[in-house]
Amino acid sequence: MEAYLIENPSVLSMQTDGFNDVEILKCEVTLLDGRIDRCTDGRIDILAKYGQEYLAVVELKLGELTELHLIQLESYLKERMQILQKYQDIWDTNVGNQPKWIGIMIGATINPDLMLKIRRGYYFNNDIPIAALTINRFKGKDGNVYVITDTYFTDSVKNKDYTKYLFKGQKFGKNRLVLEVIKDFVERNPTITYSQLQAKFPNYLQGRETFTTEALAKLKNDRRNFIEPNELISLSDETIAVSTQWGIANIKPFIEHCKSMNIDINETHIK
């Protein structure tokens, strides 16, 4: 999994403001006193950076994420100052004297009690948020490899922005705006195919996926796409579900991209 994440760091995007822009800094970082028992190696799997504020300690597991893995992650976070001492070039002190930290566990599944604990808002030492991701890859009938990622995170660290956007005389929030723009584009181009639409609205606009197929969207444990019957969009060769994960960081590039296509969108702060 480590090699896959190195090649595809955007998979680590938390799909929320402040945690969309991710960069992998180091792998297999050894810590003194980081080992808690003979089953652990005292080594951070991945050290990552989110935007200009957060450094992330990422722990990778092949199976189900459990409370034991949370304890292991916390043991690494206790020794986080070693990282700054060992790799002094990873943090720009012009941005801030000290980074904020986040701990992330990644596995194939997650224990239901642990999932609930994280979703309710779990913090190590009352100030370091903990998140979890489940990642699964499978080969489709078409021979392509698909990735399903579910994110478990608390809303309490998300930066809220309530800007609305005017499109076609109506006012929308961020995620609904994207849905309506793509719907409108397809209505004006009824013969467009999945690949053609993806070329018009690439995945990088969202960070991970601007839209996916209805089938793949419904395989996800968490609702990360518009999948109600009136929200699905029919193309000439596929039915798609647009991502619901739009925030401050990725809505601006989306709007700029739309403007380059002569799609008129305007901000409004009137409720």
Give residue-wise pLDDT tens across range 129-158.
999 999 988 777 777 778 888 889 886 555
What pLDDT, on the 0 to 100 scale, is given for residue 39? 47
Report the candidate in 247, 254, 241, 246 with the shortest Cα–Cα distance to residue 202: 254
Q: Is residue 35 pLDDT above 60, yes or no? A: no
Ranking 5-19, 50-64, 109-123, 164-178 by mean pLDDT, the lowest is 5-19
Higher per-residue confidence, 232 vs 29: 232
pLDDT digits (tens, 9 = 90+) for 69-80: 999 999 999 999
Mean pLDDT of the chain: 86
Q: How many CB atoms lie within 10 A of CB 155?
A: 10
pLDDT digits (tens, 9 = 90+) for 213-269: 999 998 876 677 999 999 999 999 999 999 988 877 789 899 999 999 999 999 986
State the Rg of the chain over Cα: 20
Please tell me the pTM assigned to this model: 0.59
Instruction: Supply φ then ψ for residue 267, to 5 degrees.
Output: -75, 150
What pLDDT, on the 0 to 100 scale, is given for residue 139? 77
Higher per-residue confidence, 207 vs 56: 56
Across the beta sheet with 211-213, the strand order is: 211-213, 239-242, 233-234
What pLDDT, on the 0 to 100 scale, is given for residue 70? 96
Q: How many CB atoms lie within 10 A of CB 32?
A: 9
Return d(Cα 80, Cα 165) in angstroms, integer. Answer: 41
Residue 67, token pair as written in the block: 């409370």
pLDDT digits (tens, 9 = 90+) for 80-127: 999 888 888 888 666 566 888 999 999 999 999 999 999 988 999 888
What pLDDT, on the 0 to 100 scale, is given for residue 240? 97
Give all domains of the chain, ordered by start, each with its CATH number: 2-157 (3.40.1350), 164-268 (no CATH)
Return d(Cα 214, Cα 218) in angstroms, integer. Answer: 6
Q: How many CB atoms lie within 10 A of CB 87?
A: 14
Report the candidate in 51, 50, 69 with the shortest Cα–Cα distance to residue 59: 69
Report the candidate in 128, 163, 181, 183 with the shortest Cα–Cα distance to residue 249: 163
